[in-house]
Amino acid sequence: MIASLIMASSFTAYAQPVFEEARAANPPDRQQPVRTKQNNDTILLTVFLKHDQSMNVDEIQKIQEQQGFYKRFPPPGTSVVGWYVMMGIGQVVVLEVPAARLRDVNLAIEKTAWKAFRTEFYPTYNLYPAIKDKLSNKEKLGL
């Protein structure tokens, strides 16, 4: 459990600049604006959708389709901040969630993602506003 928390914290804290460099390499029509601010009444929730490696991608996608995953997740009232593939692990989704909608996210995952994925949840926050003035190489960040 501690190792998972450390991994999630490390991923969340350090992955943003890596993703921004990758995003810069994509054509402009595929780029998304970088979010550096978070609404005060929301939390960021990092969701790990870990692949069940006893199934191939087609089998996983069939389960997602049967369970209505993309119709019910993310639930109304939440927004996707980022949705990435972490090779060898699965998918990592960062949601902005009003506290009152946390139950809705949990139910959407339980009803549509279980069986296709093992899931982990990590409350997350944007550290960048607190450290941006301390960084010496701001050009590389693209934020």
pLDDT at site 141: 61
Which pLDDT tens digit goes with each residue over 109-118?
999 999 999 9
- Spatial separation of the C-alpha atoms in residues 83 and 114, rounded to whole Å: 18
Alpha carbon of residue 9 to chain centroid: 12
The answer as to CATH 3.30.70.920 being correct for domain 2-140 is: yes
Phi-psi region of 77 (alpha: psi -120 to 50; beta: other; left: phi over 0): left
pLDDT at site 4: 47
pLDDT at site 38: 60
pLDDT at site 37: 60
Between CA 127 and CA 135, with CA 132 as vertex, the angle to 5 degrees is: 120
pLDDT at site 138: 67
Ranking 39-53, 59-73, 93-107, 128-142 by mean pLDDT, the lowest is: 128-142
Give the CB-side neighbour count of residue 63, counting CA atoms within 13 A: 15
Where are the domains positioned within the chain? Answer: 2-140
Q: Is the pLDDT of residue 16 over 80?
A: no
**Mean pLDDT of the 85-108 span:** 94
- Contact at 8 Å (CB) between 46 and 90? no
- The whole-model pTM stands at 0.66
Higher pLDDT, 104 or 32: 104
Q: Where are the alpha helices (DSSP H) in 1-143?
A: 2-24, 57-67, 69-72, 102-112, 128-131
Higher pLDDT, 41 or 34: 41
